[in-house]
Chain A
Amino acid sequence: MSRALGDQWPLPQIDDGNRGWFTSGELSVQKCLACGAFQHPPEDVCSSCQSFDLGVHLSTGLGRIESLVIVRHPPHPALVDAVPYAVVVVSLDDAPGVNVVGNLLGAPPEELRIGQAVSASFEEVPDPEGGETLRIPQWKLA
């Protein structure tokens, strides 16, 4: 099993809104070029100043666990072999106001705690339909 949730788990469909996030190999977060506010997921309008002038911030990928769950009952037939797995909400140190969701890899789910420092890693998966290679952001304890 090379991917956190197994190779059977469907990959994300890529569109203009999530291409940077799921393929760039960096934590690509939307930043308002007018007021400097960060927001996630990307939106057409800055929710702080209502500007349409939106750009991208490449985060260093350091953050903190804000909350977590341990999924034990498979919520989908393709996840039967993946459970138990941890899903974490992570706040980014260098993008205040942004929380992201990912899996915490390389540590037993029972040992995870709110407040632990984490760093981003990326699962590289060739697109089976011939599109851009996916680089799915995941997390490990820092």
Chain B
Amino acid sequence: MHGKAVVVGVGESEYYERGRSPHSEFQLACIAIRNAVEDAGLKLSEIDGFVSYMDQRNPPLRLAQALGVDELRFAAEPFSGGGNNVGAAVQMADAAVSAGYARHVVVFRAIAQGQFGRFGAGRAGAAGRIPAPMAWTAAHGLLNAAAECAMHTRRFMHDHDISQEALCDISLACYANAQRNPRAIRYGRPLTREAYHESRWIVEPFHLFDCCPENDGAAAVVVSTPERARDLARPPVSIVAAAQGIGPWFGIRMFQPKPLGGAFYGDVGRRLWSNAGLGPEDIDVAQFYENFTGPVLMAISEMGFCEPGEVEDFVADGALVGPDARFPFNTSGGNIGECYVHGFGLVNEAVRQVRGESTCQVKDVEHSLMVAGPGYSPGSAVLFGRA
């Protein structure tokens, strides 16, 4: 059970350290969309839909006007949350195109933290009082995603006897794979295990290098019909399946008993494999959204790649590094190594792996997985494949 749509174009802006973009966030969005549309061999005027996520600040009507869209037929955003919705956004475009409501839907994310301030900064507000809905946690200095994910990670490590080295291995793999990718902000800046351990604690159990940096950049794909794709410039990439899965609402609700020590991806995994008629053993390469390293370990096991207690061995000894890795993972460097565009770089990389265009290209990729932000709900994932 899945749609019929295909990805026909991918593009991104140049990626910048936070605050270093010479362009506004809206301009970054336009650059990424222009590049993706050009890559597809389409005209901007032919685009008739936009999907983004995470309360993005570049409204579809503004984009449609600025980019010279002839007719806007579809515009949407998945409900709730943030980077957990990267896959859900692609899924909505697939649904719209498969149903015939639109023909060429752009899915994108743009972020300029120099212009708009830091996304990960404490949310409690400055002066005055802590807003009531946040007070259950913020009154106690639990303010940001780092601390929320650290809380689940600590419990996961405790329950499954996972050491700090497993967290380190996620970060090292992202940095190592970024060294092959000239687009990556961390290109030319490798990380060592020693430097990881010597880095300061942010919120235990997270060191500095467990936390993905905040950057400026934009990325986009174009989702179209397979019929139209036959005439286009690039080989189409199939959206084999996509899935969302419910978990708790945010804040204090994240810590109620059932999911403690989890990333809320069990349902996503079951539904994705069921929708695709495939399983973890069929995956040739995977991109996992790393907001922080710990939730990636939880998501890997919840998606069914190994038992929770096996995940430290699963990621150890360079198992995630390079195109010939035991488990080819975050091959562009991911959020940590390439750029944090709220995970959208992972979508582009998953598509490029099927096309054979990655800077860390895995051989003969048939099925390429993208798993969105762990720890927040609804989680989502997309499985791309050869059309």
Q: Given the complex, which residues of B lie within 8 Å of A87, measured CB to CB?
A: 137, 140-142, 147, 151
Is the CB–CB distance between A41 and B147 below 8 Å?
no
Interface members, chain A 113-131 (any B CB < 8 Å): 114
Asked if B1 is at the interface (CB within 8 A of a chain A CB), the reply is no
Q: Given the complex, which residues of A lie within 8 Å of B202, measured CB to CB?
A: 72-73
Is the CB–CB distance between A101 and B140 below 8 Å?
yes
Is the CB–CB distance between A11 and B132 below 8 Å?
no
Q: If the complex has contacts A67-B260, A97-B257, A103-B140, are A114 and B132 also in contact, measured as CB distance less than 8 A?
A: no
Is the CB–CB distance between A75 and B141 below 8 Å?
yes
C-alpha spacing A68/B153, complex, angstroms: 10
Is the CB–CB distance between B252 and A40 below 8 Å?
yes
Asked if A49 is at the interface (CB within 8 A of a chain B CB), the reply is no
A97 to chain B, nearest CB (A): 6
Closest B residue to A109 by beta carbon equals B204
B155 to chain A, nearest CB (A): 4
Q: If the complex has contacts A76-B122, A87-B140, are A69 and B150 also in contact, measured as CB distance less than 8 A?
A: yes
Is the CB–CB distance between B201 and A73 below 8 Å?
yes
Interface members, chain A 27-78 (any B CB < 8 Å): 40-41, 66-73, 75-78
Asked if A79 is at the interface (CB within 8 A of a chain B CB), the reply is yes
Q: If the complex has contacts A10-B124, A72-B204, are A67 and B257 also in contact, measured as CB distance less than 8 A?
A: no
B5 to chain A, nearest CB (A): 36
Is the CB–CB distance between A5 and B141 below 8 Å?
yes
Asked if A18 is at the interface (CB within 8 A of a chain B CB), the reply is yes
Is the CB–CB distance between B200 and A72 below 8 Å?
yes
Interface members, chain A 78-93 (any B CB < 8 Å): 78-79, 82, 85, 87, 89, 91
Query: Can you list 22 A-B pairs, Cβ within 8 angstroms, ordered by A?
Result: A5-B141, A9-B141, A10-B124, A10-B128, A13-B132, A18-B135, A22-B139, A67-B151, A67-B152, A69-B154, A71-B147, A72-B201, A75-B122, A79-B122, A87-B142, A87-B147, A89-B151, A98-B256, A99-B255, A100-B136, A101-B255, A103-B141
Known pairs A40-B256, A67-B158, A87-B140. 11 more at Cβ < 8 A? A12-B139, A13-B129, A15-B132, A67-B155, A70-B203, A71-B141, A71-B147, A72-B200, A72-B203, A101-B136, A101-B252
